[in-house]
Chain A
Amino acid sequence: MSTTTETRRITTAKAMAEGIGLEMQRDPNVFVMGEDVGAYGGIFGSTTDLFGEFGADRVIDTPISETGFIGAGIGAAVEGLRPVVELMFVDFYGVCMDQISNHMAKIHYESGGNVKVPMVLMTATGGGYSDAAQHSQCLWGTFAHLPGMKVVVPSNPYDAKGLMISAIQDDNPVMYMFHKGGQGLVWMEKNPRSIGEVPEESYTVPIGKAAIAKEGSDVTIVTLSLSVQHSLDVAEELEAEGISVEVVDLRSLVPLDKETVLESVGKTGRVLVVDEDYKSFGLTGEIAAIIAETDPGLLKKPFSRLAVPDVPIPYARPMEYGILPTRDKIKAAVKDLMA
């Protein structure tokens, strides 16, 4: 029998659920609702084991009725509860965007700050497993574009738990956008970084503060979500080839931690933004604008970006991997910057 305490390693999905569970223990106003969040535990594991611990009264399976139950989350939040609502795939935004954009995100502003909407809307994003055009999008740029909601995009188990706890405690509506491929699911190919060390106790990760996932001196990769995992893999490979890559994990898009981005870009003078969302009118252009508005002289090489090239996500594997920001494309883009 061993007497040493091994560091506990869990999946991102389990870490999310643990964050929710700790908040449910702490605050009776917190409850969960969504499609298949109950006995199933969330299709992507975000509510694993919560049903067993808290029961059907606090982990509520809803009808397939996103306008109805997201609106109900808003109404409950307005009345002082703290709902954690799941939109199963972010791609389903089309059937409930009025509640999200016109209600969840605007009520505080429209009311002149008199009505708060302390609600978390968590949703699965991303492709890479041939789920095609209506089940593989990221769309975080769309939500970040619309004022009034915070947008959180965790890349690893530790942050997933701490950001979830911060999101539930936040008095604002928070879109919590997790990547299916980063959940550590047993039924989907996963990066080893989808399982990581996570303390058992409660802790927060501040919303609006980027992380330097890896320090480096030659090139900055600004990225988020599953692309952080890919970028770290690439950075480690390139280290052996003598290229020092700094990886900035944004962790949230709203608020966006411009200072950390600019500081890193100022240090390396070379930047690649990697985004699994659509290329045009999105995050990559936004980062370019921030650099240009601040000081174009920060860059020693022209700005570089890698994102989905403005096509819907295709089904067949060769085509899907042809347009996703894969490791080989990230690596090639970094090498181009160093050429």
Chain B
Amino acid sequence: MGELDRLAMYTQMVRIRQYESRIMQEYHADKSPAWDIGAGLIPGEMHLAAGQEPAAVGVCAHLKKGDAITAPHRPHHFALAHGVDMNKMTAEIYGRTGGLCKGKGGHMHLFDPENHFSCSGIIAQGLPVACGQALAFQRKGTDNVAIAVTGEGAANQGAFHESLNLAAVWDLPVIFVIEDNDWAISVPKDASTAGASNADRAAGYGMPGVRVEDNDVEAMYEAAGAAIDRARAGDGPSLIEIHTLRLFGHFEGDAQAYRPELATVNERDPIPKYAATLQELGELTDDQIASIQADADAEVDAAIEFAKASPEPAPEDALLHVFA
């Protein structure tokens, strides 16, 4: 495990939050007065990960070149924390030719082979693919690992259980990361899942299972470090469930009327909490907070400008890339 760099983790969380906040603004900016999901510069569903930054940042702080991530429908935080190019990612979200996928994927289908990053919009179905990436790393004799990310709602899918079993029976270097944000769209975890912690399910497959409480980025960092070290050493898969926070709706446009604890979400925001922790430790000044925010603002604004300047695809481009 490398050395804990609190300032770097804080900076990364702020960067992701600024991204999600600006995408939210941009997404809604041209959808009024009549809100139409298919209208505007960013059409389609939009699942933002504000509040879930600790999950991505705590894991990705340990990753190196060649390590893989499969993310679910809510992928931006893991993409950015794993080094996916913000400009190309943003251009993809805007459906432009300069995007990661030339406008074919959109925000739920981001593919960056250089960083071994991919998404699947079908929950839990990215996990078997991560097992295959891990199988390839194992067969090639590298110490790379695959991170398979999913939400707590996906932990009731067959693909989730098949992947845990396959990874365990073949000792694959996979780390299953479950982001428990309490809500499977509108259904609370206790109404969908037998057992309070998905970490307990790991025992059924003979792998370590850890539950990280309080959306704590440093606890996530510790848990991920141990799991990743174990996988790199050839000792097989692990599972980490982090109790995180969905600060926004399931998707943009979700009024969240089903959510009784909505009034207190801002109190539970992990970023001001972590800033306070670092200030108590004397590792973060007010000036640093301001400059980190300013850098994030500038980077995100530049990415949005890049996206808007990138040409739209031609209709006939739809016919390209079915086959290699």
- To the question of whether A and B form a pair in one complex, the answer is yes
Interface digits, B191-206 against A, CB 8 Å rule (1 contact, 0 not)?
0000000000000000
* Chain B residues whose CB sits within 8 angstroms of the CB of A79 once the complex forms: 68, 116, 132-133, 136-137, 140
Q: Are A75 and B129 in contact (CB under 8 A)?
A: yes
Residue B320 CB within 8 A of the other chain: yes
- A contact residues, total (Cβ < 8 Å): 41
Residue B21 CB within 8 A of the other chain: no
Q: Are B132 and A172 in contact (CB under 8 A)?
A: no
Interface digits, A33-63 against B, CB 8 Å rule (1 contact, 0 not)?
0000000000000000000000000000011
Residue A148 CB within 8 A of the other chain: yes
Identity of the chain A residue whose Cβ is nearest the Cβ of B139 in the assembled complex: A81
Q: Are A71 and B129 in contact (CB under 8 A)?
A: yes
* Chain A residues whose CB sits within 8 angstroms of the CB of B116 once the complex forms: 79
Stretch binding the partner chain, chosen from A108-116, A180-188, A226-234, A265-273: A108-116
* Chain B residues whose CB sits within 8 angstroms of the CB of A62 once the complex forms: 166
Identity of the chain B residue whose Cβ is nearest the Cβ of A117 in the assembled complex: B324
Q: A113-B324, A114-B101 are in contact. Are A107 and B132 (CB under 8 A)?
A: no
Bound-state Cα–Cα, A99 to B157, Å: 13
Residue A70 CB within 8 A of the other chain: yes
Instruction: Give the residue of A65, A67, A75 whose beta carbon is less than 8 angstroms from that of B136.
Output: A75
Q: Are A75 and B146 in contact (CB under 8 A)?
A: yes
- The residue in B100, B128, B158, B159 that gathers the most chain A C-beta atoms within 10 A of its C-beta is B128
Identity of the chain B residue whose Cβ is nearest the Cβ of A83 in the assembled complex: B132
Identity of the chain B residue whose Cβ is nearest the Cβ of A81 in the assembled complex: B136
Q: How far is the CB of B113 from chain A (nearest CB, A)?
A: 5
Identity of the chain A residue whose Cβ is nearest the Cβ of B133 in the assembled complex: A75
Instruction: Give the residue of A72, A73, A102, A111 whose beta carbon is less than 8 angstroms from that of B101.
Output: A111
Instruction: Give the residue of A31, A69, A113, A172 whose beta carbon is less than 8 angstroms from that of B166.
Output: A69
Residue B183 CB within 8 A of the other chain: no
Bound-state Cα–Cα, A76 to B131, Å: 8
Residue A212 CB within 8 A of the other chain: no
Interface digits, A63-106 against B, CB 8 Å rule (1 contact, 0 not)?
10101111111111111110100000000000100110011000
Which residues of chain A in 105-152 are interfacial with respect to chain B, using CB atoms and an 8 Å cutoff? Answer: 107-116, 118, 147-148, 150
Instruction: Give the residue of A71, A83, A95, A150 whose beta carbon is less than 8 angstroms from that of B163.
Output: A71
Identity of the chain A residue whose Cβ is nearest the Cβ of B66 in the assembled complex: A79
Residue B270 CB within 8 A of the other chain: no
Residue A197 CB within 8 A of the other chain: no
* Chain A residues whose CB sits within 8 angstroms of the CB of B70 once the complex forms: 75
Q: How far is the CB of A81 from chain B (nearest CB, A)?
A: 5
Residue A257 CB within 8 A of the other chain: no
Bound-state Cα–Cα, A102 to B128, Å: 13
* Chain B residues whose CB sits within 8 angstroms of the CB of A103 once the complex forms: 120, 122, 125, 129
Q: Are A72 and B120 in contact (CB under 8 A)?
A: no
Identity of the chain A residue whose Cβ is nearest the Cβ of B137 in the assembled complex: A79
Bound-state Cα–Cα, A95 to B159, Å: 10
Interface digits, B231-251 against A, CB 8 Å rule (1 contact, 0 not)?
000000000000000000000
Q: Are A110 and B111 in contact (CB under 8 A)?
A: yes
Bound-state Cα–Cα, A62 to B163, Å: 12
Q: Are A78 and B324 in contact (CB under 8 A)?
A: no
Q: Are A67 and B130 in contact (CB under 8 A)?
A: no
Q: A65-B165, A172-B323 are in contact. Are A111 and B129 (CB under 8 A)?
A: no
Q: A110-B104, A111-B104, A112-B104 are in contact. Are A68 and B118 (CB under 8 A)?
A: no
- The residue in A63, A71, A109, A113 that gathers the most chain B C-beta atoms within 10 A of its C-beta is A71
Bound-state Cα–Cα, A112 to B109, Å: 10
* Chain A residues whose CB sits within 8 angstroms of the CB of B104 once the complex forms: 109-112
* Chain B residues whose CB sits within 8 angstroms of the CB of A71 once the complex forms: 125, 127-129, 131-132, 159, 163
* Chain A residues whose CB sits within 8 angstroms of the CB of B223 once the complex forms: none
Binding site for B on A (CB under 8 A): 31, 62-63, 65, 67-81, 83, 95, 98-99, 102-103, 107-116, 118, 147-148, 150, 171-172
Binding site for A on B (CB under 8 A): 68, 70, 99-105, 109, 111, 113, 116, 118, 120, 122, 125, 127-137, 139-140, 146, 158-159, 162-163, 165-166, 169, 320-324
- 23 CB < 8 A contacts A-B: A67-B128, A68-B128, A68-B159, A71-B128, A71-B132, A72-B128, A72-B135, A76-B133, A76-B139, A78-B133, A79-B116, A79-B132, A98-B122, A102-B125, A103-B122, A107-B111, A107-B118, A110-B109, A111-B101, A112-B103, A112-B104, A115-B118, A116-B324
Minimum-distance CB pairs A-B, first 5: A71-B128, A75-B132, A112-B102, A68-B162, A79-B136
